[in-house]
Amino acid sequence: MKKRKLGSNGPEVSAIGLGCMGMTIKYGQLDDEHSIETIHHALDNGLNLLNSSDAYGNGKNEELISLALKGRRQEAIINTKFGQIRKPDGTMDINGRPEYVQEACEASLKRLGTEYIDIYSQHRVDTTVPIEETVGAMSRLVEQGKILHVGLSEAGDQTVRRANKTYPIVCLETEYSLWSREVEEEILPTCQELGISLMPYAPLGRGFLSGSIRSSSDLSEDDQRVMQPRFAQENIDQNIEKLGVLEEVAKEKGFKPAQVAIAWVLQQDENLVPIPGTKRTKYLNENMRAVDLTLEKNDLDRLSDVFAIGETAGTRYPAGHMKLLGV
């Protein structure tokens, strides 16, 4: 597996990571045994970056990773997150208070069964707490040896600047794909200027860009994507028209649409590390193969023109969740 360096002072990681969220959150059927097998397969093939959060399955995701890494901890770069809390009524709360940062980290360390976390990221920005205070608390975790690097997730460009002045940020996790390109306007240029690696999640548009979702009926009733506006049937009908060019490029290259979508993301910046999620070795193999695909400028331009910024029908999340994004 090819490697890339995270940020100016971060670790060297595999060119793509493994998003583990779907292993404990309903994106189809859950299966711990297959998920652990997939993590092992990733490590066996040099994919070492594992992305998690204490919010995924209320800590169960971190516990699953702990099981998978028994005897193999040194092979993995663990990136987990804190600060997004699901309340009993199903709504989300954000907590970036310094005392909570310490508490959350201690809990994650215990669930992960490790003495340190390679990259610890704030899952969502708490607008009631100055980012300097939150990142300051994270820097103290570095001093304590409990984390090695500091990251952010879904933060706006000005917040990233302020955070980086407080303590060096190695990566910013945010959604970025052919159908979510808004980060190109301010966030990606800011990261490039500051030497921060962008870590795109959902580079396959939560599966849409693979071409496997043609109708809302393709998703089970308990699949979380059912609640996301882009997977409403009227929006699928509009967005599916764009898939034709992606499928054409894939056919010309002898690759699958999903692999072309990942390759397109990879070629937007040499320090960018996407984290496509899967819990099946079959799809992991397909994702890893995308690292070896080089798209010509004409291919990149064709795809960028069809999937123009702001042209995707439907927002990324429901209105309430969109308000929690720091972008």
CB 236 within 8 A of CB 215: yes
Strands 84-86 and 147-153: unpaired
CB 259 within 8 A of CB 285: no
First to last CA, the chain: 32
CB 182 within 8 A of CB 154: no
Tell me, what amino acid is at 89?
A: D
Among 310, 295, 297, 222, smallest CA distance to 260 is for: 295
Which string of DSSP letters, residue by residue, matches 103-128?
HHHHHHHHHHT-S-EEEEEESS--TT
Phi, psi values for residue 171, rounded to 5°: -155, 155
Active site residue 100: no
- Which of these is catalytic: 27, 56, 120, 176? 56
Which string of DSSP letters, residue by residue, matches 197-221?
EEEEE-TTGGGGGGT---SGGGS-T
Q: Where would I find the beta strands (DSSP E) of the chain?
A: 3-5, 12-14, 18-19, 49-51, 77-82, 84-86, 92-94, 117-122, 147-153, 169-175, 197-201
Catalytic (active-site) positions: 56
